[in-house]
Amino acid sequence: MEKQSFKLDKVLKQNQAAEKSQMELALVEAALYVTGRPLDLKELCSVLRTRSKNKARRLAKMLMKEYAKRNTALEILQLKDERFVLQLKTEFTSRVKKLVKRPLLSTGPLKTLAYIAYRQPVSQKRVAETRGHHSYGHIKQLKEMDLIIGERRRRSTFLRTTEYFADYFGLSHELSSMKRQLKKVFEREMAK
Whole-number pLDDT of residue 123: 94
Interhelix angle for 53-70 vs 41-48, to 10°?
Answer: 90
- Find, among 142, 137, 159, the residue nearest to 150 by Cα: 159
The span from the CA of 121 to the CA of 42, in Å, is 28
Domains defined for the chain, CATH in brackets = 2-95 (1.10.10.10), 107-191 (1.10.10.10)
Higher-confidence residue of 189 and 144: namely: 144
In this predicted structure, the answer to whether residue 5 has a pLDDT above a threshold of 80 is no
187 pLDDT band, cuts 50/70/90, is confident
The pTM assigned to this predicted structure is: 0.58
- Per-residue pLDDT tens over the stretch 6-16: 666 666 677 67
- Per-residue pLDDT tens over the stretch 27-39: 999 999 988 888 8
* Cβ atoms of residues 166 and 173 within 8 Å: yes
192: Cβ contacts below 8 Å, ≥ 6 apart: none
What are residue 123's DSSP bridge partners?
158
Whole-number pLDDT of residue 168: 79
The span from the CA of 125 to the CA of 30, in Å, is 41
In this predicted structure, the answer to whether residue 121 has a pLDDT above a threshold of 90 is yes
User: Phi, psi (5° rounding) for residue 118?
Assistant: -80, -35
Whole-number pLDDT of residue 177: 87
- Per-residue pLDDT tens over the stretch 122-174: 999 999 999 999 999 999 999 988 899 999 988 999 999 998 888 778 788 88
- Per-residue pLDDT tens over the stretch 62-95: 999 999 999 899 999 888 788 898 988 888 877 8
